[in-house]
Amino acid sequence: MAIIAGYFAGETYGLLGPQMAATIIEEHTPYECIVIAVDRGDDKTLLKKALSDYFVAHEPVVGFSTLGGRQDLIDLAKELKQEGALTILAGPQADTDFRGEKEWRSYPHRFPGLSSSFSFALHGPAEQIVPFLKEPRPTLPAGPGFLLTAEKGVILSNAKKPWDEGFLTRVRWGNLFRLDQGMLTNHPVTTAQVLQQIGCPHASRPRQIEIDYPVSMQKGKKQRVQLLLRGCSFCDVAIDKGFHGVLDREKVLAQISGLPEADDGRKIAFELINENPLPGLPHILTQAGERDLRLSQVNLTMRADWLVQGEKQLREALAIARKMRIRILLSSVGFESFDDEILKNLHKGSTVETNLLAVRLMRRLKELFPFQWAYSKAEGAVHGFIHPTPWDTKETAAHIGKAMDMYRLASDILPNRSVPLIIHHASSLGEWIREVETREKVRFERYGSVIGWWEEAMVKPD
């Protein structure tokens, strides 16, 4: 079996989800399983040839994961299916992307889903596929987590199993391959991921909120859409995983212990997957030291408010890191904006004031721990800044511009290029834009699984 995942040329990071799935498959089924990281530039004809060399006479079973809407990979899946391979869509958003956008059959402009490109989909934990792959002649329909296309295109969907920590501790980091001169070549991973939390605590409770209409559609008074949502309004992690809690610390240490070592004998750098990692960080570092796990670098991806709240533990962690000669890289803080109206519409749950407190803290810590602490774009961090958005006005631009000037944000905090707001069809903003469409009798173009919100994407009735 092979799992194909999207990748960027020149990168050397691991792909935790697909690589963990391949590990589970190899350890619990008769299948050998590798992950092939495919970048947009890779020649798909050569890739197909390499796949047929890999499968030899075996029936090809090809999983696809974290495609990020890549049409080239969706087309490849369809071709392989037509040529007789079993193609499986799995990983985050596999269910919503296989099924398609809400009520797409009644609204033909909506995203119709990817069910025609894949034999079936699996959403949720990888171990759900084990019984299916253990059968000598796998037959459909199968158990929990499976989505299948039945007669007349009706999609059958089984509820997924809950996450089981027992399956989340082992990853064979050596199972990642790239296409190199027509051959599948082992691709060494230099930054891995360690899972400490599934989903996000900000997405744990539903909340009733109001989101403004796009500025271009406001007619005089402010119009809003009421939504019941979990987490940030643009976030599909919040929809895909919600919040499933924190892993036991021993399970986190087991993952750290399983990381590959670099030439200097230290564990390679890893990202701690946890939006709120500071409360447990000093303990993890101390325990790693006591167990003689020689770490090199821990990358943190987190929210600004939890950074500010966790200052005490962060200072503690940095003091431990100094003794252990470890670097802590704050690789991404989800600031998203420096305007309160925009932050409110993104339902970020934090304010400009909190973002600026976080910036001050990041800089202060650099003075105190120059060798242990890294946070700036020059040091490899890419902080979240969403722009443009549907709520941009002269006022929001002035607020953002003022914060940028006063706090010199462009020098170390803001990425060289901002990311425009992306509305995945299954995110809460997907609900918002569909409601705007219905009320205003307009439609917005779909770009695969993404909904356009900008003026050029809006089509008015004739």
In the bound state with ligand B12, the residue whose beta carbon lies nearer, of 10 and 220, is 10
Least separation, in Å, of the C-beta of 244 and ligand B12? 10
Least separation, in Å, of the C-beta of 175 and ligand B12? 12
Q: Which residues bind ligand SF4 (CB under 6 A)?
A: 200, 202-203, 231-232, 235, 237-238, 275, 303, 334
**CA 458: distance to chain centroid?**
28
Decide if 372 contacts 282 (C-beta within 8 A): no
In the bound state with ligand SF4, the residue whose beta carbon lies nearer, of 341 and 440, is 341
In the bound state with ligand B12, the residue whose beta carbon lies nearer, of 237 and 330, is 237
In the bound state with ligand B12, the residue whose beta carbon lies nearer, of 16 and 362, is 16
In the bound state with ligand SF4, the residue whose beta carbon lies nearer, of 81 and 230, is 230
Cα distance between residue 4 and residue 80, in whole Å: 12
**Which partner, ligand B12, ligand SF4, none, binds residue 4 by CB below 5 to 8 Å per kind?**
none
Backbone angles phi, psi at 252, to 5 degrees: -70, -45
> Which residue from 129, 18, 112, 110 is spatially nearest to 64, judged by alpha carbons?
18
Q: Does 193 bind ligand B12 (CB under 6 A)?
A: yes
In the bound state with ligand SF4, the residue whose beta carbon lies nearer, of 242 and 388, is 242
Supply 256's token pair.
């750290």
User: In the set 7, 54, 173, 373, which binds ligand B12 (CB under 6 A)?
Assistant: 7
Beta bridge partners, 192, equal: 270
Least separation, in Å, of the C-beta of 202 and ligand SF4? 4
Query: Which residues from 209-238 bind ligand B12, rule CB under 6 A?
Result: 236-237
Least separation, in Å, of the C-beta of 237 and ligand SF4? 5
Give residue 461's region: left, alpha or beta (phi > 0; psi -120 to 50). beta
Cα distance between residue 453 and residue 448, in whole Å: 14
Total site size for ligand B12, rule CB under 6 A: 35
Q: What kind and span of H or E run contains 308?
A: helix 304-309
In the bound state with ligand SF4, the residue whose beta carbon lies nearer, of 34 and 239, is 239
Beta bridge partners, 34, equal: 2
Least separation, in Å, of the C-beta of 360 and ligand B12? 26
Beta strands 443-444; 446-447: pairing state: unpaired
Cα distance between residue 300 and residue 400, in whole Å: 25
Least separation, in Å, of the C-beta of 418 and ligand SF4? 16
Start-to-end CA span in the chain (Å): 50
Cα distance between residue 138 and residue 124, in whole Å: 20
Cα distance between residue 299 and residue 331, in whole Å: 6
Query: Which residues from 87-126 bind ligand B12, rule CB under 6 A?
Result: 88, 90-93, 122, 125-126
Give the binding site for ligand B12 (CB under 6 A).
3, 5-8, 13, 15-18, 20-21, 63, 65-68, 88, 90-93, 122, 125-126, 129, 168, 193, 195, 236-237, 240-241, 271, 273
